[in-house]
A = this chain, B = another copy of it.
């Protein structure tokens, strides 16, 4: 094994996956994991076997990979707003059930035009506070938008969808819990309002790994779409939504040089990414946690070097283990990963990395 190397601990990963699937089963909520967290059909297959009802993707290229690998029922939770992309969606729809989200009339019109005589399931994307995509949850605004969509005969409104990604900026568990409750409450109030106007809303689809457990306590949520829960990372640990013991993905790295009060490792930004949180939040000091040197701090990353400030210096050539800040970006950077299972290392190609179009 050459370093830097991305290692997935099978046992921890399975524990993470089963825990969330079991929770979903208990609550009668569908689990539709976000593929972007691992981008690897091998892991998607495990999720499917455990009970995932389908997959979420951001980009069409991810959905194309999944469908070509035999996966079914794909939600592209991303605005598809150009005719060339609607054609790709239509192509996918020949092989499996698909759905997507809308948050603009312009986008919806392009979808409707591209699908012609064929109908398409869509979810209305609501912005519950991340302040990225989505319609603001003003009842009348949403109603007017929905009425406009209903005029586009081939778009079938399947439900409401949100992503409470602002939970990644939560200062403590209480704040994250509040964000989760607001996320659920906002969608359920909108559902009630729309249904009072005769518009049936079947699906209430929510999800982010930090808010997941709290969302599952809210009745009438029908679907969750976490991604990161498969591996976790130092962002989740910093948010207190999990502990180090539940981090399934680590980066093995080698000490290549030393100086006064510092050492240099062979993992840089091209391996670890520069994330200090998620969605642009900067909640973490340093660029990952070194398990063997818990007091050390990875203070800077060049492309291929990590600079570590530390009072204790390891030997040159020594191997260290890093919990990265954001496991999703580490997966996207790695050409392959090592699956650590029963003391053996299995090399897994990372088929979906870079499929960001």
Contacts and interface: CB of A to CB of B under 8 A. Distances in A.
Given A2-B61, A333-B354, A107 B36 contact: no
Contact of A60 (B2, B5, B333): B2
Contacts of A279: 300, 302
Interface in A86-126: 88, 103-104, 106-107, 110
A28 interface: no
Assembly stoichiometry (copies): 2
A25 B84 CA distance: 47
A2 B299 CA distance: 37
B333 A333 contact: yes
Contact of A257 (B3, B104, B333): B104
A19 interface: no
B264 A133 contact: yes
A256 B132 contact: no
Contact of A356 (B106, B134, B304, B354): B304
Question: What are the 3 closest A-B residue pairs judged by CB atoms, nearest first?
Answer: A280-B300, A335-B354, A274-B274
B264 A269 contact: no
A68 to B, nearest CB: 15
Contact of A81 (B82, B270, B316, B335): B316
Contacts of A2: 60-61, 84-85, 88, 357
A269 to B, nearest CB: 7
Interface string A246-282: 0000000011111100001010111101110011100
A315 to B, nearest CB: 7
Nearest to A307: B132
15 contacts: A79-B257, A79-B264, A104-B258, A106-B316, A107-B256, A132-B305, A133-B257, A165-B302, A268-B356, A271-B356, A273-B274, A333-B354, A333-B356, A334-B354, A335-B354
Given A104-B257, A106-B317, A335-B355, 14 more contacts: A2-B357, A59-B266, A59-B304, A78-B304, A82-B254, A106-B316, A127-B259, A132-B257, A132-B307, A266-B357, A304-B356, A333-B333, A333-B356, A335-B353
A295 to B, nearest CB: 20
Given A2-B85, A256-B107, A307-B132, A353 B354 contact: yes
Contact of A4 (B106, B110, B302, B356): B356
A275 B307 CA distance: 16
Contacts of A315: 106
Interface string A127-155: 10001111000000000000000000000
Nearest to A6: B357
A303 interface: yes
A5 B356 CA distance: 9
A56 B162 CA distance: 47
Interface in A308-332: 315-317, 328-329, 332
Given A273-B274, A302-B165, A316-B106, A256 B78 contact: yes
A316 B280 contact: no
